[in-house]
Structure 1
Amino acid sequence: MLDLDLALEKVKKWVKEAGDIQKEYFRKKSILINTKSTGIDLVTEVDELCEKHMLDSIKENYPLHGILSEESGKSDTNITSDYLWIVDPVDGTTNYAQGLPIFAISIALKYKDETILGVVYCPIVDQLFEAVKGKGAYLNGEKITIGNKRDLSECVLATGFPYDRAVHKDNNANYFAHLVPMVRGLRRMGSAAYDLANVAAGSLDGFWEINLSLWDIAAGELLIEEAGGKIVYLKEKRGISLVAGNEAICQKILDQIEYVDKIIYKTP
């Protein structure tokens, strides 16, 4: 069985090194920026440099493990290991390209489809969130726990919007508009991994989003669970869609999503 404590120390070193690359290029006018699926789905040369660093580190240390990464997809498809590393080298590329300091490196390790290690690192604000299955969740070495609020009116929530929001009606706009007047605050920070990590730490009270990908949520999912929180997947919606928070707030967000679905989308 893999030594998870040793693996965690290695991952923390890798993300700090990738974070140094991100800080070196941050706000440089010469940075190369391209688009992917849509004109608002960006990738920069820093995404690619950091991904290469992370993938090279994994392959050097765990050559028989599988890898799934945002920019490269599934690496080493001939590998049939029970271990799968899931990497997002820059979650929040639009923020990075704009010179906004909220973006994160997210890396998780799954064993037989169960996430057993997760790290989210936001280099500019120097916040490192970590979790190993069964050992709790931590921010910069201090244990974190999910928030304890019970009423939406007291909550600061976070959410995001899919890249195809201009052409797909299931784009979260109706849920956002419905929930805005019901909560203390609603944040759209631009990094699902960072949002989930902050829910785990109690800095945010809840989060929902639709049409995410595995690399967006794999590490954050474990952080939430290890901090005593809950994740509910919206299986009827596209991609990976979920609600996160403590049990009470999850249910209250779910109730409002269900209400909007009935009123707007006329679901039964």
Structure 2
Amino acid sequence: MHPLLNIAKEAAEAAGNVIRFYQDRFDQITVEQKGRNDYVSQCDFEAEQAIIKTIRKYHGNHKIIAEESGVQNGNGDVEWIIDPLDGTTNFLHQFPQFAVSIAVTVKGKLTHAVIYDPIAEEMFTATKGSGAYLNNHRIRVSGQKTLDNALLATGFPYHDFSYIDAYLASFKAFMTSTAGIRRAGSAALDLAYVACGRVDGFWELNLKPWDIAAGALIIKEAGGLATDFAGGENFLESGNIMAANPKMYKEMAQVIGKTIPAELRK
């Protein structure tokens, strides 16, 4: 296993320990509202610091992009993209669908990824060119070939509603052509579930890099495709992502092309 992936796993486990600590101590958690339907808790901050402390133990000069503390510039070609608690609203409601997400880029390319569910104790990992794993067992995307009988995952708009009509058009099209759609509240876990075949595909608009960087690499290493809505690699910048196995991806792309305006597919 690559040393950087080992560090990412150690950091995710450290964050998971913080999350489990507060899971049993909700009366001790302080919560702030960053924006409409956008919350951050003491647990988010402490889990993020646990990740950063672990990274800095081994590499004091790497760049870090973190959801809560922002950018810590560094030297060299390595960059860490971290979300200490993807699914904070779920966590604050004791709805057990949240995860730690850590991605590593080298010279701008996604190379290592970890998504850790500390409640289910599921660790999804990937290194570019080495496959994807769940708790050290190899995983693959599903073999579903068409939208018929497919189960998709998505995320609803929750603070920026400027694109809601386009999103609802895509939702309607997928709802009427699949076996079902799930909205569990953690994009990181949704993408991990695509990678291991629990759901057949995923789409969402306006996400942040730390929501999707790790999941995108894990899906690719599990034999799937993860792109922006134009079929390119701009998803970390645009925040729009579509993921599935290659055959399902083609059908999903057709629906996205018909329902999402061109200006939102960049």
TM over 0.5: yes
**Alpha-carbon distance, 1:163 to partner:** 3.4
The residue number in structure 2 matching 1:115 is: 110
Q: Residue 164 of structure 1 contacts residue 171 of structure 1 at CA under 8 Å; is this kept in 2?
A: no
The residue number in structure 1 matching 2:157 is: 162
The residue number in structure 2 matching 1:39 is: 36
After TM superposition, the runs of 4+ consecutive aligned structure 1 residues lying more than 3 A away are 165-171, 235-238
Which sits farther off after the overlay, 137-146 or 155-164?
Answer: 155-164
What is the rounded CA distance, in whole Å, between the counterparts of 1:52 and 1:67 in structure 2?
A: 12
The residue number in structure 1 matching 2:240 is: 241
1:221 aligns with 2:216: yes
What is the rounded CA distance, in whole Å, between the counterparts of 1:46 and 1:110 in structure 2?
A: 26
> Could you list the runs of 5+ residues in structure 2 that have no partner in the other structure?
none
> Could you list the runs of 5+ residues in structure 1 that have no partner in the other structure?
none
**Alpha-carbon distance, 1:164 to partner:** 2.7
In structure 2, relative to structure 1, the CA distance for the partners of 1:18 and 1:149 (3 Å cut) is same
**Counterpart pick for 2:202 among 197, 202, 207:** 207
Alignment of structure 1 residues 12-31 onto 2, 5 Å = 12-26=9-23, 28-31=26-29
The residue number in structure 1 matching 2:254 is: 255
The residue number in structure 1 matching 2:54 is: 57
Q: What per-residue deviation string (whole Å, max 9, x for no partner) do you get for residues 223-250 of structure 1?
A: 0111111112125998320110111111
1:109 corresponds to which letter in structure 2? Answer: V
What is the rounded CA distance, in whole Å, between the counterparts of 2:105 and 2:249 in structure 1?
A: 25
Q: Residue 159 of structure 1 contacts residue 186 of structure 1 at CA under 8 Å; is this kept in 2?
A: yes
Q: Residue 232 of structure 1 contacts residue 250 of structure 1 at CA under 8 Å; is this kept in 2?
A: no
Query: What's the secondary structure of 1:189's corresponding residue?
Result: coil
**Counterpart pick for 1:82 among 54, 77, 86:** 77
**What is the count of residue pairs matched by the alignment?**
259
Q: Residue 161 of structure 1 contacts residue 171 of structure 1 at CA under 8 Å; is this kept in 2?
A: no
- TM-score calculated relative to the size of structure 2: 0.91
2:253 corresponds to which letter in structure 1? Answer: L
**Alpha-carbon distance, 1:258 to partner:** 1.8
**Counterpart pick for 2:8 among 8, 11, 22:** 11
**Alpha-carbon distance, 1:171 to partner:** 6.2
1:92 aligns with 2:68: no
- TM-score calculated relative to the size of structure 1: 0.90
Query: What's the secondary structure of 1:164's corresponding residue?
Result: coil
Q: Residue 162 of structure 1 contacts residue 212 of structure 1 at CA under 8 Å; is this kept in 2?
A: no
RMSD value over aligned CA atoms? 2.2
In structure 2, relative to structure 1, the CA distance for the partners of 1:150 and 1:175 (3 Å cut) is same
Query: What's the secondary structure of 2:32's corresponding residue?
Result: strand
What is the rounded CA distance, in whole Å, between the counterparts of 2:168 and 2:248 in structure 1?
A: 20
Q: What per-residue deviation string (whole Å, max 9, x for no partner) do you get for residues 160-216 of structure 1?
A: 023334454466222112211211110111111111111011111000011111111
Q: Residue 169 of structure 2 contacts residue 260 of structure 2 at CA under 8 Å; is this kept in 1?
A: no
**Alpha-carbon distance, 1:254 to partner:** 1.4
